[in-house]
Chain A
Amino acid sequence: MQRAVWLRAAVAHHGIDPFFNVPRAFRDGCLGLSRFNNPRPELVPRYQARVLVNLRPSVLDPAGEATRAAAARLGVDGVTRLRIGKAVELELEAPDEAEARRRLELLSDRLLANPVIENWSLELQES
């Protein structure tokens, strides 16, 4: 610890780096940054997720209706229903899939969708 303080003081005072040309891992170890001393950092599983948010069927979707009308004007017939929602793509780190799912469900329910007017569904896979 004392050594780390001395080193920082030296750097600040002389504007030089006494560990110039010293391997990075060694230098960081000397500076007492324990996270660089960990020889095998724990691998946290990463997940990819997509949350689809849609208006509840009972809620009017005027933007969807306008788009459906435009489809007919384009000459595409037979579109009987068109609803616009949104897709939110996420990546997250979590200890396991159950925990990833728990976090994403909380996020979807409390932030990404408003349950008063919207439904949501979740797609989740480990990346």
Chain B
Amino acid sequence: MSIGVVIFPGSNCDRDVRWATEGCLGLPTRFLWHEERDLSGLDAVVLPGGFSYGDYLRCGAIARFAPVLQSLVDFAAGGGRVLGICNGFQVLTELGLLPGALTRNRNLHFICEDAALQVASSRTPWLSDQVAGGQITLPIAHGEGRYQCSDKTLKQLQDDDAIALRYVANPNGSVDNIAGITNAKGNVLGLMPHPERACDPVTGGVDGRALLKALIG
């Protein structure tokens, strides 16, 4: 029973995630260097926030080719839980584990603030202790978080009940106010808000705890 947190060159939320999962929640956690291929013994893998490979070319475009992610595709296919936070969400879309893409915020600003989020679906383990339609508050911190997809993909997401979280007040221009989505199976979640920054009461909220607890169990 263990969580792996991937470190890419340029990741900067890797230790925050570990503090949240291990320090606040007591879940055994280890770091995974981006060149590792062995994911055995892990129940869940987190792709943390940051600027992997300097965001060169596009956010997440180069991280996609990291050896650890080739193993992650099989890991996810086998039902392992995968959580992509912020840059991790961008990587998951580039990798093709989640549909769509994340583009420059509508107002071009890097937005760093608390965001009220509506639980769009409590179907998956990530939000199963929430009521659909309920609200949680998580911090956001991104310049390229405007979720973008074709009408067809959006319809597919809605049909699959794969939209996990929506912004109450859309800060970045995301299609359909999307803040986070899952795959159809529900074991992969990507979201722009940072649950790991809402686990320790001293940082102003603990709404992220339930979401990270869902990594195990």
Contact = CB atoms under 8 A, between A and B. Distances in A.
Interface of A: 55, 59-63, 66, 111-112, 114, 116-117
A35 B104 CA distance: 50
Contacts of A114: 58, 61, 94, 101
Interface of B: 57-58, 61, 93-94, 99-101, 103-108, 146, 148-150, 173
Contacts of A61: 104
B104 A62 contact: yes
B103 A117 contact: yes
B148 A62 contact: no
A55 B94 CA distance: 16
A62 B106 contact: yes
Nearest to B109: A62
Nearest to B102: A117
Given A66-B108, A116-B101, A116-B149, A60 B61 contact: no
Contact of A117 (B101, B106, B173): B101
Contact of A111 (B57, B104, B146, B173): B57
A52 B145 CA distance: 24
A111 B61 CA distance: 7
Contacts of A55: 103
